[in-house]
Amino acid sequence: MSAQTAVVTGGAHGLGEAIVRRLHADGYRVAIADLDGAAAEALAKELGEAKGYAVDVADRAAVDGLLAAALADFGSVHVLVNNAARTQAKKLMDITADELDAVLKVNLGGTFSACQVFGAHFAAQGYGRIVNMASLAGQNGGTATGGHYASSKGAVLSATKVFARELAPHGVTVNAVSPGPQDSPMVRSIVDDVDGLARSIPVGRLGDPAFIARMVALLASPGAASVTGACWDANGGLYLR
């Protein structure tokens, strides 16, 4: 089989960048979509066999355009990683209706729309892998990430299940990865006492984005055909089930 193409939203920075680099190292051609189009293009240029796109996943038309552009540039698409997300550290009772809407449009709306758009394409071709980035916050209610972020990620977990059920007969798997606190710029930007946070985790350390990327790559692989509707946790023992 020729090289497969993976689309990663929110792929220019942080965990998304780690996922892009892992998939690229594994031989995928990568379409890097990000609100920061310049950063996406710069990363694509560095890697080669990649393209960067400025995309706001909250805009359904932009998601349609992303699929069309990736198909035009690469000829085929096989994998979608829904990583784009918006978070805001704010007290629960102070979250405004506009702030709630803004977070839900990206985290749930963007993921849902991309699952529809790419899922329909994958079903038509009889093969596809979708990996949604969930979060520990969506499982335990969250802490510093904001109640609207936690709520949106809980909804992503439910969306993963409904799309997995719908697309399973068509050779398309849909799974989620649910990281706990990672040693990442985003976590460090919203947590004042990172060392204290690490001590509160049963394993005594923050997660490694490179390992999360390997989990995503495994679920995105052709060999993961029997895994769908699953959520793989990596939270250091903060949430056990």
Name the catalytic one among 28, 127, 149, 239.
Answer: 149
Beta bridge partner(s), residue 232 = 177
Q: At 49, give phi and psi (nearest 5°).
A: 55, 35
Q: Which has the closest alpha carbon to 234: 220, 223, 225, 210?
A: 210
Known catalytic membership, residue 149: yes
Q: Which has the closest alpha carbon to 125: 160, 79, 80, 171?
A: 171
User: How many angstroms separate the CA atoms of 119 and 103, rounded?
Assistant: 23
**What amino acid positions are annotated as catalytic residues?**
149
